[in-house]
A and B are shown apart, each in its own frame.
Chain A
């Protein structure tokens, strides 16, 4: 529908070519006025189209509230407003051109060639302005239509899934005991999944193997952080008490020259930085803090920090398949199985 109007608009625009021969000022003015009138009509039509697109986009948003439809509806409305402004501009210019054409005709009737020429020039300018405004209105209308199409697309893509604003994120299977969980984990591991996880209220032993996890590298991070602490303690004391401002008491140096006195602070800074390294290491490897995760969409999942055990398999996994993955999880006899969906946007 929107495309059709676009095509219709184009041929009309070509009518701006001048006629043959040498027209009089009166004729030129009349012609310009007519063209301005046509441009204003075009702009008005564009405005109407834009308005319709905006209405439809708003309708889409109402049916499928999501970030995408909201953005599209907003865009369409803004474009429609723009088109309206342009249409008003075009109409005003058309009025000016018409007025100028009338004055040119009067001047021509009086035989005042110069005045007629001036008026005709005015009419031409006004006509040009009207044409420009009309063009802008058309562009705005095209924008509105484009936005409306986006809104339509977003709406259509959600129809037929029950809850249109969501898309599947992961399968969540619940188990009653750590034994059942470990057995299920082995099956999922052997099926070759990678983006999956076990969720337990406390660290269940033996799950590392059951999940086939490689050993953690946290120790390296802590160790390096600790060594940084050790070295910085030595450098700090040596710099402050020996290089920058030597403190010599009883002819005895401070810093590396009096090594035993450095040991307590070397030790404390090693511990301090190991602690920070370990804390940030855990957060880094676990990709925490992360307050939004699709798994929290499930109400059942609240028991994961109480007394239930869960396995989740994410849609993003290479092997994920709505039916096969479900069948695999069903074969592990979970006490509950759910397809968790996440909101889009």
Chain B
């Protein structure tokens, strides 16, 4: 974080408004947890709890009746459930990317959004894990997934990509929670020290572990934070790669491609950024945090979405190219008939009936982010709000397209079908939004949603400069020397 100072020669300015003091940051962040919830919070919270109730009811119904209440049926044994799983896991990836990868690249602007995004990671992974857990059919036997002795004296098959998924997702959840909590310790101490009531002091005090800002602790803490970032970076890349192995290691045309791991990771980051931004815009308006999340932050996030959107678009294009270039009729069938709805017609002269889902995906994911080339769009809050929602929808369709359109018109007469979602599919998906939003709103309300200590460390006067800090000219010179070779310290 030694590159905290803006490079004035390049026209960079401070991330936060000039003259922001340490106390301003503390006040702005802590105030949210110390004052009454604004009306907007309740307007969001009550429907969220309602949706959470819907989720619980759906799970109860599904467990009682069996997975047949979903629309999954031959040939679509995977459908909304796995779509939702992959979608939610992908949402989580933005959090780790922001907290870990941007940390390693010393992108200080991340400090305004990382806590927020990390919380989303944890909640999104929780939502995601519901679907495969239910999809096993008898969720009360889900402990077979773990390598623990059971009454059949059988161990899991570690050659199965689904087993890798169990390990990847659980590791991801665990490490995300630890990373999040370690980052929270100093900020919980801040809340503890500001507490007026004994109860608050006790709760935040217990969670803060007796943190006293000791530099002897900071020294280990910072190294630990670096290690967490260093292990989370390959972890986040591995998780969606492993998720993509669920598809890529099969021999299904449409799934069996080597491009899947990077393509899935890019898509995950893309969708995650979109949801972070959607929620960020809402929370920023509800709690009036415009000084902590500035247009500059939003602009940078939009650039990220533009970049990852292009990567995703490239992957879509390349899949088609390979389908054509390989000369493999089955591969071409899946892409041109099942998805694109062009070129390959069936014997009745029809296109695949779900062609529209492919086009929904392309228009949301590839076309709509192109608007971010324009600075006016990148800095327009209504525009970016709409585009992020489009991206969220598009990324859901991406997983739907990959899963369902590869399966619904297969190569045996018995594998010729279509897919229709049932009300349980829809209600359970909506219900997981209830879980996500309930947890998220509770987090926003009770836990510092910005990394207070990290934001303070990025303020221009946060670190003692070299000897001559009285002399303005020398001072500017120091900055230049300090900033240029970033890893110098």
A interface, CB within 8 angstroms of B: 177-179, 181-182, 197-208, 211, 213, 216, 218-219, 222, 226, 236-237, 240-241, 244-245, 247, 249, 254-255, 258, 261-262, 264-265, 267-269, 271-272, 274-276, 278-279, 281-283, 285-286, 288-293, 295-296, 301-307, 310
Given the interface contacts A254-B158, A258-B159, does A218 sit within 8 Å of B220 by beta carbon?
A: yes
Give B212-225 as 1s and 0s: 1 = Cβ < 8 Å from A's Cβ atoms.
11111111111110
Q: Among the listed B157, B175, B206, B465, which residue makes an inter-chain contact with A241, where contact means beta carbons less than 8 Å apart? A: B157
Supplied contacts A201-B26, A281-B220, 19 more A-B pairs, CB within 8 Å = A181-B464, A201-B22, A203-B221, A204-B218, A205-B2, A206-B464, A208-B219, A216-B220, A254-B159, A264-B167, A268-B164, A268-B235, A275-B179, A278-B227, A286-B220, A291-B210, A304-B212, A306-B193, A307-B21
CA of A201 to CA of B153, assembled, Å? 54
B431 vs chain A, min Cβ distance (A): 29
Contact A302–B215 (Cβ < 8 Å):
no
CA of A279 to CA of B185, assembled, Å? 12
Given the interface contacts A201-B190, A271-B175, does A305 sit within 8 Å of B463 by beta carbon?
A: no
Which residues of B (193-234) have their CB < 8 Å from a CB of A?
A: 193-194, 205-206, 209-224, 227-228, 231, 234
B314 vs chain A, min Cβ distance (A): 25
CA of A266 to CA of B293, assembled, Å? 39
CA of A307 to CA of B190, assembled, Å? 10
Q: Among the listed A199, A272, A288, A301, which residue makes an inter-chain contact with B171, where contact means beta carbons less than 8 Å apart? A: A272
B145 vs chain A, min Cβ distance (A): 13
Contact A261–B159 (Cβ < 8 Å):
yes
Which residue of B is nearest A284, CB measured?
A: B220
CA of A222 to CA of B227, assembled, Å? 8
CA of A267 to CA of B167, assembled, Å? 10
Contact B216–A204 (Cβ < 8 Å):
no
Answer whether residue B462 sits at the interface, using C-beta atoms and an 8 A cutoff: yes
A100 vs chain B, min Cβ distance (A): 66
Contact B171–A271 (Cβ < 8 Å):
yes
Contact B218–A305 (Cβ < 8 Å):
no
Q: Which are the 6 A-B pairs with shortest beta-carbon distances?
A: A307-B22, A240-B155, A289-B209, A264-B164, A198-B215, A302-B193
Answer whether residue B326 sits at the interface, using C-beta atoms and an 8 A cutoff: no
Question: Which A residues lie within 8 Å of B220 (CB)?
Answer: 216, 218, 281-282, 285-286
Contact A271–B234 (Cβ < 8 Å):
yes
Contact A198–B189 (Cβ < 8 Å):
no
Question: Which B residues lie within 8 Å of A249 (CB)?
Answer: 159
Contact A182–B464 (Cβ < 8 Å):
yes
Contact B212–A296 (Cβ < 8 Å):
yes
Which residue of A is nearest B159, CB measured?
A: A261
CA of A203 to CA of B489, assembled, Å? 14
CA of A258 to CA of B160, assembled, Å? 12
Contact B193–A202 (Cβ < 8 Å):
no
Contact A275–B158 (Cβ < 8 Å):
no
Given the interface contacts A204-B464, A295-B212, does A279 sit within 8 Å of B26 by beta carbon?
A: no
Contact B215–A207 (Cβ < 8 Å):
yes
Question: Which B residues lie within 8 Å of A211 (CB)?
Answer: 215-216
Contact A288–B210 (Cβ < 8 Å):
yes
Q: Among the listed A177, A236, A289, which residue makes an inter-chain contact with B147, where contact means beta carbons less than 8 Å apart? A: A236
B interface, CB within 8 angstroms of A: 1-2, 21-23, 26, 147, 153-159, 161, 163-164, 167-168, 171, 174-175, 178-179, 182, 186, 189-190, 192-194, 205-206, 209-224, 227-228, 231, 234-235, 238, 242, 245, 452-454, 456-457, 461-465, 469, 489
Q: Is the interface of B mostly helix, strand, loop or mixed?
A: helix
Q: Among the listed B21, B190, B238, which residue makes an inter-chain contact with A264, where contact means beta carbons less than 8 Å apart? A: B238
CA of A264 to CA of B26, assembled, Å? 42
Question: Which B residues lie within 8 Å of A278 (CB)?
Answer: 224, 227-228, 231
Which residue of A is nearest B30, CB measured?
A: A306
- Between A and B, how many residue pairs show CB distances below 8 Å? 210
Which residue of A is nearest B205, CB measured?
A: A291
CA of A216 to CA of B207, assembled, Å? 24
A283 vs chain B, min Cβ distance (A): 7
CA of A216 to CA of B245, assembled, Å? 39
Question: Which B residues lie within 8 Å of A177 (CB)?
Answer: 461, 464
Q: Among the listed B156, B221, B464, which residue makes an inter-chain contact with A178, where contact means beta carbons less than 8 Å apart? A: B464
B455 vs chain A, min Cβ distance (A): 8
Question: Which A residues lie within 8 Å of B489 (CB)?
Answer: 205
CA of A271 to CA of B231, assembled, Å? 6
Contact B168–A286 (Cβ < 8 Å):
no
Which residue of B is nearest A277, CB measured?
A: B227
Question: Which A residues lie within 8 Å of B206 (CB)?
Answer: 291
Most chain B C-beta atoms within 10 Å of own C-beta, residue among A199, A255, A271, A305: A305
Question: Which A residues lie within 8 Å of B234 (CB)?
Answer: 267, 271
Contact B218–A218 (Cβ < 8 Å):
no
Which residue of A is nearest B191, CB measured?
A: A305
Q: Among the listed B2, B157, B221, B235, which residue makes an inter-chain contact with A282, where contact means beta carbons less than 8 Å apart? A: B221
Contact A204–B224 (Cβ < 8 Å):
no
Contact A305–B190 (Cβ < 8 Å):
yes
Which residue of A is nearest B26, CB measured?
A: A306
Contact A264–B168 (Cβ < 8 Å):
yes
Chosen A-B contacts, 25 in total, with CB atoms closer than 8 Å, are A177-B464, A199-B212, A201-B22, A202-B186, A205-B463, A206-B464, A216-B219, A216-B220, A218-B227, A236-B147, A237-B158, A241-B157, A247-B157, A247-B159, A267-B234, A268-B168, A271-B171, A279-B182, A282-B220, A282-B224, A286-B214, A286-B221, A290-B209, A295-B212, A307-B22
Question: Which A residues lie within 8 Å of B23 (CB)?
Answer: 306-307
Q: Among the listed A265, A285, A303, which residue makes an inter-chain contact with B158, where contact means beta carbons less than 8 Å apart? A: A265
Question: Which B residues lie within 8 Å of A291 (CB)?
Answer: 205-206, 209-210
Question: Which A residues lie within 8 Å of B158 (CB)?
Answer: 237, 240-241, 254-255, 261-262, 265
Given the interface contacts A281-B224, A307-B23, A307-B26, does A178 sit within 8 Å of B215 by beta carbon?
A: no
Question: Which B residues lie within 8 Å of A240 (CB)?
Answer: 147, 155-156, 158
Contact A213–B231 (Cβ < 8 Å):
no
CA of A264 to CA of B220, assembled, Å? 29
B450 vs chain A, min Cβ distance (A): 13
B388 vs chain A, min Cβ distance (A): 30
CA of A177 to CA of B462, assembled, Å? 8
Contact B153–A245 (Cβ < 8 Å):
yes
Q: Among the listed A264, A279, A295, A307, which residue makes an inter-chain contact with B245, where contact means beta carbons less than 8 Å apart? A: A264
Given the interface contacts A178-B462, A249-B159, does A279 sit within 8 Å of B178 by beta carbon?
A: yes
Q: Among the listed B1, B175, B219, which residue makes an inter-chain contact with A275, where contact means beta carbons less than 8 Å apart? A: B175
Contact A244–B223 (Cβ < 8 Å):
no
Question: Which B residues lie within 8 Å of A181 (CB)?
Answer: 464
A211 vs chain B, min Cβ distance (A): 6
Question: Which B residues lie within 8 Å of A218 (CB)?
Answer: 220, 223-224, 227
Question: Which A residues lie within 8 Å of B171 (CB)?
Answer: 268-269, 271-272, 275
CA of A269 to CA of B205, assembled, Å? 32
CA of A296 to CA of B154, assembled, Å? 54
A219 vs chain B, min Cβ distance (A): 7
CA of A202 to CA of B25, assembled, Å? 12
Given the interface contacts A200-B218, A279-B224, does A254 sit within 8 Å of B157 by beta carbon?
A: yes
A289 vs chain B, min Cβ distance (A): 4
Contact B186–A305 (Cβ < 8 Å):
yes
Question: Which A residues lie within 8 Å of B224 (CB)?
Answer: 218, 222, 278-279, 281-282
Which residue of A is nearest B458, CB measured?
A: A202
